[in-house]
């Protein structure tokens, strides 16, 4: 599919919009007509006296449809062009994206902004009438925004979260595009001991910066990758540094992702629990052994159940389970069974993801996107909403990923009183996040602006260029002394 952007700079948004309708095709963008008569969307803005004429012309299989409008100089031309194109694409493809023209990954952030501007009813109207978001998705965004608002308001302005990145996994899942290194390879395995050393160094630097700035630690979150790829001794060491270096007296939650059941042992769970970790994730993704094999997860359903039972036995208060809708070889019945199984086990949090077709994942590079049936995902997401709502869970955070099946969302569901505050703070970015480890991004908040301090992405760079990274992180001290 070709996208022509004539006399306007809105290429990025329009390309994302076209991708919603042609998720499996490359989109080629041109800024001038080139005489190609194939399938294409031509978008243009032309001056028209005191106004501007916006035009969208869609050619699909030789059939041409066109729509245009005249808009004042103060109009949002980008949005008007997107709406013209949206109507043509919807008619041509026979498919109406449930999130309308909203292509951003943080719909709740927008709902919160619009609620502050227009009030809740005005924000709902904006989503439905202006952005063409379906009533059901608008209601989801409204519910999550209201829940998030309450969470955010409870956190003092000088609070911060500590994020610890562990970009290692026992092996690579076939749908993954994350930079995580599989410790199944000797090269990656060799990096881990030095990585742990540097992580401890960076934690000390970060704690000193937080103390100097008078910040108060409110949540700690270890993500990845799979933090429980570390040995029990490595976990113990890093947890000990956090305990000694940071004031945890105001810390409201401490979470460690133990996502891969094949990394979970009683010894590791006991170390985590003894250091005050109260929440973990044990991620089934699916409760079907056949689907687990298809996605290259080297564990079974029985392993997930064993890890979950161990975590309960060791005493974790809140356990999250991630599930994915739209996995290869899964079926609507299989997915329904997965959601029901997580509910029956009693997970306090269930996070339902829509499979994203990441270009660098093995799923796409080895088999091509065409091998995936993305038509099932919307029904699966509906099923999860129905089952989780009936079981007393409420949606408390949501985000979207680019190239997700059916342009759908990922939603964190929780039983009352068990929402993960870090997830809300990470998604809406209202408070500082001090992040350590490879690929980690520190976010410093001042009013409505956010400054990012990025660490090296890959563990080998993180290990070998740590002195440079430490220099870069002095920016945190500078930020708070400005
Ligand atoms: S566990 Fe997560 S981060 Fe690790 S390979 Fe699988 S999808 Fe990627």
Task: Give the model confidence (pLDDT) of 144-161 as tens digits.
Answer: 999 999 999 999 999 999
Quick check: 359 pLDDT over 70?
no
Q: Which atom of ligand 1 is nearest to the CA of 167?
A: 3
Rounded to an integer, the average pLDDT of 394-405 is: 87
CA distance 335 to 288: 9
Q: Hey, which of 222, 225, 283, 459 would you mutate to test ligand 1's pocket, going by the most ligand atoms within 8 Å of its Cβ? A: 225
Share of the chain above pLDDT 90, in %: 78
> b vs e for 173-188, b when ≥16 Cβ sit within 10 Å of the residue's Cβ?
bbbbbeebbbbeeeeb
Structure tokens given for 121 = 């009813």
| pLDDT given at position 130 | 94
Rounded to an integer, the average pLDDT of 320-328 is: 94
Structure tokens given for 470 = 């430490």
Q: Whose CA is nearest to atom 6 of ligand 1?
A: 173
| pLDDT given at position 36 | 75
CA distance 287 to 343: 12
Distance 19 CA to ligand 1 centre (A): 25
Quick check: 104 pLDDT over 90?
no
Structure tokens given for 386 = 């129905």
Q: Whose CA is nearest to atom 8 of ligand 1?
A: 176
| pLDDT given at position 179 | 65
pLDDT in tens, 77-94: 999 999 999 999 999 998
pLDDT in tens, 455-476: 999 999 999 999 999 999 999 9
CA distance 171 to 169: 5
| pLDDT given at position 355 | 87
Residue 360 — pLDDT band, cuts 50, 70, 90? low
Q: Which has the minimum average pLDDT: 21-25, 49-53, 314-318, 348-352?
A: 21-25
Right CATH number for 2-93 from 1.20.120, 3.30.70, 3.30.200, 3.30.160? 3.30.160
Q: DSSP of 213-243, one letter per residue?
A: HT-EEEEEEEEES-GGGS-HHHHHHHHHHHH
CA distance 77 to 99: 20
| pLDDT given at position 91 | 95
Q: Report residue 89: phi and psi, to 5°.
A: -70, -40
Q: 3-state class of 353 per DSSP?
A: strand
pLDDT in tens, 26-78: 899 999 988 777 899 999 999 888 899 999 999 999 999 999 999 998 889 99
Cis peptide preceding 300, ω within 30 of 0: no
Residue 22 — pLDDT band, cuts 50, 70, 90? confident
| pLDDT given at position 368 | 58
Rounded to an integer, the average pLDDT of 318-334 is: 94
CA distance 132 to 125: 9
* CATH class of the structural domain 155-468: alpha beta
Locate the domains of the chain by residue range: 2-93, 107-151, 155-468
| pLDDT given at position 402 | 75
Contact 167, 180 (CB under 8 A): yes
Rounded to an integer, the average pLDDT of 115-144 is: 96
Q: Hey, which of 175, 179, 180, 294 would you mutate to test ligand 1's pocket, going by the most ligand atoms within 8 Å of its Cβ? A: 180
Task: From residue 438, give the alpha-carbon distance in Å to each of 7, 10, 49, 199, 422.
Answer: 41, 33, 54, 9, 19
pLDDT in tens, 231-284: 999 999 999 999 999 999 999 999 999 999 999 999 999 999 999 999 999 999
Residues with CB under 6 A from ligand 1: 169, 172-173, 176, 178, 180, 224-226, 259-260
Q: Hey, which of 226, 323, 353 would you mutate to test ligand 1's pocket, going by the most ligand atoms within 8 Å of its Cβ? A: 226
Quick check: 404 pLDDT over 90?
no
Q: Hey, which of 166, 176, 321, 327 would you mutate to test ligand 1's pocket, going by the most ligand atoms within 8 Å of its Cβ? A: 176
| pLDDT given at position 318 | 97
Q: Whose CA is nearest to atom 3 of ligand 1?
A: 225
Distance 167 CA to ligand 1 centre (A): 9
Which of 206, 224, 220 has the alpha carbon at shortest distance from 166?
224
Which residues are CB-neighbours of 302 under 8 A, at least 6 positions away? none
């Amino acid at each position: 599919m070709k996208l022509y952007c004539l006399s306007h700079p809105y290429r990025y948004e329009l390309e994302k919009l076209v991708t919603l309708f042609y998720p499996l095709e490359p989109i080629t963008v041109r800024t001038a007509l080139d005489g190609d008569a194939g399938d294409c969307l031509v978008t243009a803005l032309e001056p028209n006296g005191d106004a501007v004429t916006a035009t969208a012309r869609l050619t699909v299989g030789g059939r041409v449809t066109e729509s245009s409008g005249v808009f004042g100089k103060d109009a949002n031309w980008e949005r008007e062009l997107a709406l013209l194109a949206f109507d043509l694409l919807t008619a041509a493809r026979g498919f109406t994206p449930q999130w309308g023209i909203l292509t951003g990954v943080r719909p709740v952030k927008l709902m919160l902004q619009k609620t502050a501007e227009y009030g809740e009813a005005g924000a709902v109207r904006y989503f439905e009438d202006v952005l063409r978001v379906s009533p059901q998705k608008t209601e989801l965004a409204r519910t999550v925004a209201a829940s998030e608002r309450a969470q955010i308001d409870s956190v003092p302005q000088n609070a911060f979260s500590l994020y610890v990145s562990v970009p290692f996994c026992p092996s690579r899942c076939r749908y993954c595009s994350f930079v995580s290194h599989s410790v199944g390879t000797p090269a990656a395995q060799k990096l881990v001991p030095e990585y742990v050393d540097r992580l401890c160094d960076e934690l000390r630097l970060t704690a000193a910066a937080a103390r100097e700035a008078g910040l108060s630690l409110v949540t700690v979150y270890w993500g990845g990758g799979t933090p429980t790829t570390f040995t029990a001794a490595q976990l113990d060491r890093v947890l000990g540094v956090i305990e000694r270096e940071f004031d945890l007296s105001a810390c409201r939650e401490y979470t460690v992702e133990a996502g891969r059941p094949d990394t979970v042992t009683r010894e590791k769970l006991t170390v985590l629990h003894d250091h005050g970790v109260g929440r973990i994730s044990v991620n089934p993704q699916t409760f079907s052994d056949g689907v687990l094999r298809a996605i290259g997860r080297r564990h079974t359903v029985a392993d997930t159940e064993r890890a979950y039972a161990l975590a309960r036995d060791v005493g974790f208060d809140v356990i999250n389970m991630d599930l994915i809708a739209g996995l290869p070889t899964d079926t609507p019945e299989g997915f329904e069974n997965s959601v029901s199984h997580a509910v029956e086990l009693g997970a306090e949090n269930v996070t339902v993801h829509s499979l994203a077709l990441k270009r660098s994942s093995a799923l796409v590079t080895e088999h091509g996107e065409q091998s995936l049936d993305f038509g099932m995902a919307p029904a699966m997401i509906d099923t999860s909403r129905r089952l989780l709502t009936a079981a007393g869970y409420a949606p408390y955070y949501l985000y979207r990923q680019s190239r997700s099946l059916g342009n759908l969302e990922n939603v964190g569901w929780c039983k009352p009183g068990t929402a993960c505050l870090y997830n809300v703070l990470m998604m809406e970015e209202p408070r500082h996040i001090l992040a350590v480890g490879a690929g980690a991004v520190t976010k410093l908040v001042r009013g409505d602006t956010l400054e990012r301090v990025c660490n090296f992405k890959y563990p080998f760079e993180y290990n070998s260029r740590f002195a440079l990274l430490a220099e870069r992180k002095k920016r945190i001290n500078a930020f708070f002394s400005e």
